[in-house]
Structure 1
Amino acid sequence: MSIRIYKEVYFEASHRLLHYEGKCFRLHGHQWRAELWVEGDIDADSQILVDYNMIKKVIDRYDHEVILNEEDPMVPCISNFQEVVTTKGDPTSELLSERIAREVEEECSKYGIAARVAKCRIWESTTCFAEWTP
């Protein structure tokens, strides 16, 4: 039986946009909101598609982290004090929506769960989000 589930997770993280002319070029933080719609066939024994906590654990990798473009000259400096999450390209809500969706799918695959992310929405503020769909 095919089904779709929904999970919403909040996380705090800072980022900056290296290739952007404007205030987002400066290191700053957000309370991000991730919304994921995951679909597939439920497990015959457990009657569960994906454990909601598994989705949360993937998103929690970003909680209280600094997220920077891997080319950002701040990476080596900040790395002297704490781990930095790096991205191929500027860590925009657009980039993070696809990246998080793919990470959730990889985690499902790792555990043999036949599920895919139908939609991933990443809110950078209360008024703007990016939405990735396959």
Structure 2
Amino acid sequence: MARVRITKEFTFETGHALYGYDGKCRNVHGHSYHLSVTVIGTPIAEDGAVKLGMVMDFGDLKKVVREEVVDRFDHATIFNRNTPHVELARTLEREGHRVILADYQPTSENMVVDFAHRISKRLPEHIRLHSLRLRETGTAYAEWFASDNPD
């Protein structure tokens, strides 16, 4: 049977600051991120299967991505844990804001790698993450492809 790719798209709002960067993005600011998640698999062909003809139920994919990415990052501010902004992060947390201190510089490139790891570990065994596209602005995005990242 043919292998098929399916894609589900998500949006979320996240703030960040790039520690040590020499441009405007060193300042705390935010983006309306658009995440496209593409998985690949073989459509279910078992007669009588509830999900007959599906590679994966879009609702199941939505649940994974919401839990691993959207619900964690939406309306949060992400900082590199080594940033001098740590005191600002602690102040924001004390005031009830959601803050993520990451082990990486919170660029779109690093975020999409993080998201790939989070999503991959939650997919059913017969489904593989094919690619992610994280759009930071209307004209800029980072992509991750499984074919570029062999295990």
- Whether 2:122 is the aligned partner of 1:80: answer no
Q: 1:4-47 CA deviation, whole Å, 9 max, x = no partner?
A: 11011111110110121111000001101111111124454323
- Whether 2:131 is the aligned partner of 1:130: answer no
Ranges in structure 2 where 5+ consecutive residues have no aligned partner: 147-151
Query: For residues 34 and 13 of structure 1, what CA distance do their matches in structure 2 show?
Result: 12
> Do 2:79 and 2:105's aligned partners in 1 also have CA atoms closer than 8 Å?
yes
TM-aligned CA deviation for residue 106 of structure 1: 1.5
- Whether 2:113 is the aligned partner of 1:98: answer yes
Cα RMSD (Å) of the superposition?
Answer: 1.9
- Whether 2:24 is the aligned partner of 1:13: answer no
Query: What secondary structure, in the 3-state scheme, does the structure 1 residue paired with 2:30 have?
Result: strand
The structure with more radius of gyration: 2
TM-score by length of 1: 0.85
Which position in structure 2 is the counterpart of 1:107?
122
TM-score by length of 2: 0.76
Which position in structure 1 is the counterpart of 2:62?
53
Hey, which of these two has a bigger chunk of strand by percent? 1
Number of matched pairs: 131
Which position in structure 1 is the counterpart of 2:131?
119
TM-aligned CA deviation for residue 126 of structure 1: 0.2
Query: For residues 64 and 86 of structure 1, what CA distance do their matches in structure 2 show?
Result: 14
Percent of paired sites with the same residue: 28
Query: For residues 21 and 126 of structure 2, what CA distance do their matches in structure 1 show?
Result: 38
| CA gap 1:113/1:42 in 2 versus in 1, 3 angstroms | farther
1:57-72 matches, within 5 Å, as 57=66, 58-60=68-70, 61-72=72-83
